[in-house]
Amino acid sequence: MEDNHSYYVSRLYGPSEPRNRELWVDVAKANQSQVKVHRILSNTHRQASRVVLSFDFPFYGHPLRQITIATGGFIFMGDVIHRMLTATQYVAPLMANFNPGYSDNSTVAYFDNGTVFVVQWDHVYLQGREDRGSFTFQAALHQDGRIVFGYKEYFRIFESRRRTIFEYHRVELDPSKITSTSAVEFTPLPTCLQHRSCDACMSSDLTFNCSWCHVLQRCSSGFDRYRQEWLAYSCAQEAEGRTCADFQDEDSFSSSPDSSSSPFDGDLTTTSSSLFIDSLTTEDDTKLNPYAGGDGLQNNLSPKTKGPPVHLGTIVGIVLAVFLVAAIILAGIYINGHPTSNAALFFLERRPHHWPAMKFRNHPNHSTYTEVEPSGHEKEGFVEAEQC
């Protein structure tokens, strides 16, 4: 069965179709040096862990190198970990309240061979409904942008959420057509972002309304992860009624290399450019600060546009840094010489061991994540969640 969407074409393969067996990745027979059973995810409930891919995975045309695996049967594809992982930017073969910590046979493992990244939830049970049996399924992210869902052990969960790819666009599957030993393959369709020149963008015959932003040197419909930049540079207004020849004429009449009609110079960071999706109102009305983190846009300006350095500020900064380093050294010497002092005990009790974590809290209508002290030793950063 095939279904066409704006960004992907989905195909469902039943148990008797040969393509179904071809799409399933047998992790047990794969090169075990490329397979990792995640210790934290395999022994806990409501947790998620960040993992770096060995290749760029194009998601809606955007290359991703980092994803977040969750015990709940989904992969978070966003750049920024926030309180509503289950509301935006995810790929979910089967999103439900799974608890891998219930059974020693339950594992969450991933496999990366450089061309495909596979996450497998193996023999996982539903929290509070363990008598229904276990589930085994996987999600595969291919280097060419294809997404494959494979189901080895499956039965219907009427209250579970099955939205798969969603935010400015979503793909929904009919759960009644999913069975054990079935598979779903999502093949990406061309997008505006693939065009690298003005001529290719303006002559595009895609169903999207592609426009060329000369300042950003980018082709877009204006509705993607880079929307924040698109609006900041007034790209929609810039492209109205203009041709590529008009842009070339402007370049030839530029007064100097340093002049620019854009409000900012230089490329924005990946974090800033991805905030259109994250700043949309999600199911719980959560919004993120588009410029959180202290890295303002001026930090990405070229040296020529930043202006002359402030010598007084530099001197003050150096003096403060020297005092800070001296204070830390003196404090270390004191604590080392007085291990039973109040200060030494204070730092001993609060010494950092782990990555920062997030705690999951349930509310009547939605779920949120808040920062807590972690309790695991996993190498990757992770998100901890528990039922409240």
Specify the residue for token string 């049996």.
133
Q: Is residue 38 part of a domain?
A: yes
Task: Report how many domains make up the chain.
Answer: 3
Residues 284-295 pLDDT 10s: 332 322 333 333
pLDDT reported for residue 343: 72
pLDDT reported for residue 91: 92
Q: Is residue 269 part of a domain?
A: yes
Q: Is residue 21 part of a domain?
A: yes
Please check whether residues 139 and 273 belong to one and the same domain.
Answer: no
Q: Is residue 91 part of a domain?
A: yes
Please check whether residues 132 and 7 belong to one and the same domain.
Answer: yes
Please check whether residues 200 and 179 belong to one and the same domain.
Answer: no
State the sign of the Cα–Cα–Cα–Cα dihedral 91, 96, 99, 104: negative
Please check whether residues 66 and 98 belong to one and the same domain.
Answer: yes
Please check whether residues 208 and 115 belong to one and the same domain.
Answer: no
Q: Is residue 385 part of a domain?
A: no
Of 140, 171, 188, which residue sits at a domain end? Answer: 188
Of 305, 332, 361, which residue sits at a domain end? Answer: 305
The pair of three-digit structure tokens given for residue 125, joined into one six-digit string: 């049970």
Please check whether residues 131 and 180 belong to one and the same domain.
Answer: yes
Please check whether residues 163 and 207 belong to one and the same domain.
Answer: no
Please check whether residues 149 and 292 belong to one and the same domain.
Answer: no
Do the bridges between strand 134-142 and strand 147-153 make them parallel or antiparallel, or are there none, so unpaired? antiparallel
Please check whether residues 263 and 341 belong to one and the same domain.
Answer: no
> Which residues, given as ranges, of the chain have pLDDT below 50?
160-167, 255-310, 354-360, 368-381, 385-388
pLDDT reported for residue 225: 78
Q: Is residue 237 part of a domain?
A: yes
Of 188, 207, 230, which residue sits at a domain end? Answer: 188
Structural domain boundaries, residue 324: 320-349
Please check whether residues 201 and 137 belong to one and the same domain.
Answer: no
Please check whether residues 238 and 267 belong to one and the same domain.
Answer: yes
Please check whether residues 139 and 12 belong to one and the same domain.
Answer: yes
Q: Which residues contact 302 (CB under 8 A, 6 or more apart)?
A: 265, 266
Q: Is residue 278 part of a domain?
A: yes
pLDDT reported for residue 156: 79
Q: Is residue 84 part of a domain?
A: yes
pLDDT reported for residue 79: 75
